Amino acid sequence: MKIALTMENSQAAKNEIVLKELEFVTAQSGDEVFNVGMCDADDHHLTYIHLGIQASILLASKAVDFVFTGCGTGQGALMSCNAHGNVVCGYALEPSDAFLFNQINNGNALSLAFAKGFGWAAELNVRGIFEKVLMSGCEGGQGYPIERAVPQQQNAAILNDVKQALAKDYLDGLKALDVDLVRTACSGERFQQCLFENSQVSDISDYVRSILN
């Protein structure tokens, strides 16, 4: 899979720590990582609102398959991502959260808290979260416990149908957003490289390119 990592400005100083742990895990899982922001406090300014826009564009364009994101508490990034009809974002404070999200909800994004509770052995906790999503030993959406697998799979599918039914056409919805908000979300060099080199939906990447130009 192609995996994107994006963090808001308040947690930019921790990007190196988080990226190191994600790359440690993906070196074993064989997944590819794109660090799309933020890398440091002097990078382009991203709030948790921008993170949701980034996640939705990358997933809708099929530039990536999964997004790890987060802010101080993880709650803002969670809500921002789930505001978009094509993003099913979970929330993980510890590895068991990530495992259960992967097995039961089978979404395409996960929000982490990078300030709250980020103390001793925080890097090990983050690594464990990544492992439970990328190296759990079985395909996501299999259910847990196993006797609950069928209704859990059904409910996950229904939720996806509900989100799609309530959502506008993706590109129409993206164009309805404040253009400066979208432009800022897409202003980073690493984000643009990830999108433009990997997008499989040219209408989306062409629109982003047009507002950047």
| Closest-CA residue to 139 (of 197, 213, 65) | 65
Q: Helices then strands (H, E): number in the chain?
A: 10, 5
d(CA 186, CA 53): 8
Burial 38-59 (b: 16+ CB within 10 A, else e): bbeeebbebbbbbbbbbbbbbb
CATH topology (fold) of 2-212: Ribose 5-phosphate Isomerase B; Chain: A, (3.40.1400)
pTM of the model: 0.93
d(CA 41, CA 105): 33
So where are the chain's domains? 2-212
Q: Which residues, given as ranges, of the chain have pLDDT below 50?
A: none
Peptide bond before residue 151 is cis, with ω within 30 degrees of 0: no
